[in-house]
Amino acid sequence: MMEQLAKAWQDVLNKRGFEYGLPSDVSTHGFAIDNLITTLHYFMALLFVGWGIYLVYCLVRFREREGHTADVAPQHFSLPKYLEIGVVIFEACLLVFFSYPVWAKLKTDFPDRETSLVVRITAEQFAWNIHYPGKDGKFGKTNIDLIDGTNPVGLDREDPNGKDDIVSINQFNVPVGKPVIVELGAKDVIHGFFLPNARVKHDAIPGMVFPLWFETKETGKFEIACAQLCGVGHYRMKGYFNVLTQEEYDNWILEEEEALKEEGA
């Protein structure tokens, strides 16, 4: 016990584990989100520092002391009104020029399914099942009666479209530079599908399927986190989000298909 405490404090004293700021971003849409967050924080800092300076100034200048009495005459200030209007206009601009377009793009401007990688991600306590359609690009039928330990999404291997489907658990591999469409669902409770490094987050809600899309611009190995409390294992519902080169990705698909054939034989 003392060792762990000592280690924790060693980190504190060595200033390790004090990182802050947005994580690295490999998505093509992330800069818009990051821009908005940064702009907003400058704006917030400006307001806060303005208020703060004013507050401290008042506290010092108008402190109770000998020979100072309060001015009780009715007051009227018009500057705050203009500042207020300024704040309103700024907020309206944020809304119209920063937030609405990003959201509209993410919600409605989906890439072409033909040229994108389409995957189904089904969350469960406490894992991410990632279902790739395989070479034919078509998902096999799924049926909840088929769900068992080896078949987490209930894929029907008898279905011709399902023969080449790949189901990977907690390993989400995508090729860099190709749009990815995720059809997000859940089996049991609400989970939160979160790719911090791709600025993707969406609740996975049982009984519903939500399409999301993103596109990557750099390779790297990252994590999938669960953002929504989903039970005792919420904290360890970790997946891996690997952005591979097209070649690495193709090799991985080949390997998986080999494994499928062996299983079948």
Partner 1 sequence: MSHHEMPFWKKYIFSTDHKVIGLQYGITATFFLLFGFFLMILMRWQLAYPGVEIPLIGKALTETGALTPELYNALGAMHGTIMIFLGVVPMGVGAFGNYLVPLQVGACDMAFPKLNMMSYWVYFVGGVIMMMSFLMPGGAAASGWTSYPPLSVISNNAQTVWLLSMVFLITSSLLGSVNTIVTAIQLRAKGLNFMRWPIHVWAQVTTAFLLLLAFPPLEGAAILQLADRVFGSSFFLPSGLVVSGEKLGVAGGGNPLLWQHLFWFLAHPEVYVLILPAVGVVCEIVTTNCRKPFYGYKTMVYSILFLGFMSFVVWAHHMFMTGMGVTLSSFFQATTMIISIPSVIILTTILLTLWGASIRFTVPMLFAMAFLPMFAIGGLTGLPLGLTASDIHLHDTYYVIGHFHYVVAPGTLFALMGGVYYWYPKFSGRHMNEFLGKLHFWVSFVAINFVFMPMFLMGSKGVSRRMYDQTQYSYGASTQSWNVVMSTAAFVLLLAQIPFIWNMFTAWKTGKKVQNDNPWEATTLEWAASSPPPHENFPTPVEVYRNPYSYSATTRKVLPQFIPQEG
**Residue numbers 207-226 binding partner 1 by CB under 8 A:** 207-208, 210, 223, 225-226
Beta carbons of 117 and 107 less than 8 angstroms apart: no
d(CA 121, CA 129): 6
| Binds partner 1 (CB under 8 A): choice among 78, 108, 247, 262 | 108
CB of 120: closest distance to partner 1 in angstroms?
Answer: 14
Residue 53 sits in the site that holds partner 1 (CB under 8 A):
no
* Residue number with CB closer to partner 1 (82 or 160): 82
Considering only residues 184 through 203, tell me which ones interact with partner 1, judged by CB under 8 A. Answer: 187-190, 192, 194, 196, 199-203
The rounded Cα 18 to chain-centroid distance in angstroms is 21
d(CA 205, CA 154): 18
CB of 113: closest distance to partner 1 in angstroms?
Answer: 19
| Binds partner 1 (CB under 8 A): choice among 229, 251, 258, 259 | 229
Residue 42 sits in the site that holds partner 1 (CB under 8 A):
no
Residue 95 sits in the site that holds partner 1 (CB under 8 A):
yes
* Residue number with CB closer to partner 1 (13 or 265): 13
Residue type, 236: R
d(CA 60, CA 218): 53
Residues contacting residue 240 through CB under 8 Å, at least 6 positions apart: 170, 171, 172, 221, 222, 223, 224
Considering only residues 141 through 160, tell me which ones interact with partner 1, judged by CB under 8 A. Answer: 144-145, 147-149, 154
* Residue number with CB closer to partner 1 (53 or 254): 53
Beta carbons of 116 and 183 less than 8 angstroms apart: no
Considering only residues 158 through 177, tell me which ones interact with partner 1, judged by CB under 8 A. Answer: none
CB of 261: closest distance to partner 1 in angstroms?
Answer: 26
> What is the rounded radius of gyration, in angstroms, for the C-alpha atoms of the chain?
26
| Binds partner 1 (CB under 8 A): choice among 157, 206, 242, 257 | 206
Question: By CB under 8 A, how many residues form the interface with partner 1?
Answer: 103
| Binds partner 1 (CB under 8 A): choice among 31, 53, 58, 259 | 58
Name which of 137, 168, 141 is nearest 152 in CA terms: 168
d(CA 187, CA 206): 5
Residue 59 sits in the site that holds partner 1 (CB under 8 A):
yes
* Residue number with CB closer to partner 1 (40 or 253): 40
Considering only residues 242 through 261, tell me which ones interact with partner 1, judged by CB under 8 A. Answer: none
| Binds partner 1 (CB under 8 A): choice among 72, 247, 263, 265 | 72
Beta carbons of 181 and 116 less than 8 angstroms apart: yes
Of the chain, the end-to-end C-alpha distance in Å amounts to 51
CA angle in degrees (0–180, nearest 5) for 66-69-71: 160
* Residue number with CB closer to partner 1 (75 or 115): 75
Helix, coil or strand: residue 226: strand
